[in-house]
Structure 1
Amino acid sequence: MTEATARQSTMSHEEWEVRKDLAAAYRLVALYDWEDLVFTHLSARVPGPEHHFLINPYGMLFDEITASSLVKVDRDGEIVDPGATNRVNPAGFTIHSAVHMAREEAGAVLHLHAPDGVAVSAHKDGLLPLSQTAMLCLDHIAFHDYEGVALNLDERERLIRDLGDKNMMLLRNHGTLTVGRDVGEAFTYMYFLMKAAEIQVRTLAQGEPYLPSQQAIDTTSEQSKQLGMASKLTWPALLRKLERIGSDYAT
């Protein structure tokens, strides 16, 4: 019996499926070059009434993460997984626990420091309606001002107040955050947000941008209401991508 099989035998089928999805998200973040060494975090709620969630072991690169290596913690950041031998990052816990505790439907929370996302978070006007992708994101975005490295548990109240019911957030001078009912939905939101940020950085580098009409912005905003539903198509396709390149995320 492999170590991964032994770990899998200690948990429910539902937990193992969430572990595989979350590990896949870590690998995809690395694949898209959005990682920041061992920093930033992706988390997912473990099915069940215990209010436990999964997060990466501190010190592992994102392209090393597997389903069995993820660490299960409670809402206070205490490790509750008897098989875990690694520690977690307290700054990662602060941000993710805030959202999981406040949003019952938050099955997954993704937080990145990718350069284009940080650049747009530091722009005075945030995300601009410079592309169709950006316009699909605008109504989903909240903002939270930078308060220092997220070690202060008091910040949680302000962060969830600023997030409200939105599914995307620009953490000013810091990075991006998305929330989804599951890992696939949260990743799809992040993909759209990061693509919009990348386009904005490139567009502004060219000089004065061309802005669409307010009518076009409003129309696209209305069309964006079901943006999260795109994950029904995108997530299975992304998992197939990982399988084609031989990723061992599901071990």
Structure 2
Amino acid sequence: MQITGNTLFIPGATSGIGLGLALRFQALGNTVVIGGRRTELLDELVAGHPGLDAVQIDTTDPDSIAEAFRTVTGRHPELNVVIAMAGVMQAENLRDPAFLATAERTITTNLLGPIRLLAAFEPWLEQARNPVFMTVSSGLAFVPLPATPTYSATKAAIHSFTESLRVQLAGTPVQVLELVPPAVQTDLMPGQAESPTAMPLEAFLDEVMLLIETQPDAAEILVENVGFLRNAVANGSYPRVLGMLAGAER
């Protein structure tokens, strides 16, 4: 992926990693369109960051995705990068029947959302200049956090889906990238923004932008902090890492 000269659409960029990436790309002179559900928050962000554009989108709603596609491509016919950032993460007790509503909402947002975004935008990207479709998985795609089983499962599914997508689009100009974050100090989970075990957001963004710049042909964007999860199966540490995530070293 080239780091400049892009027009990007980032659904799920009203806070955290998504907003951080949006502002980093904008600072490099790219045209950036952020997406989110809350129009008042989008308006606030646009007012605070001149040049940023925003489009309302609910990635759990196919009609909203279709409308956002028409709006983004109508305003920005040079669109060439879509980053499927929107996601939710909630703890679940699988012995409590109430977990099912959380699981269904998580699957709709984290898995169906990116798939629907791909279906809407991929034909457009094939005609674009230097096109990129970026998914966002997680280190937990490779070793699950038992407290968030459905989140971890959706991120494993996104990784698998991205691998297949990359193979199927190999004959097209669309580059398929997978961003694989570790725990980052954001509000994704309660208390995560202050967690000493999570990576500071600005440090994460620094490393991600450097990787994109220095490894333009990479398939996965892997900061150093996510390596212990990404490589756990290969290096034989999976049982230990899973035990650590479960809260008890095995």
TM-score (norm 2): 0.29
TM-score (norm 1): 0.29
Structure with bigger RCO (C-alpha 8 Å, 6+ apart): 1
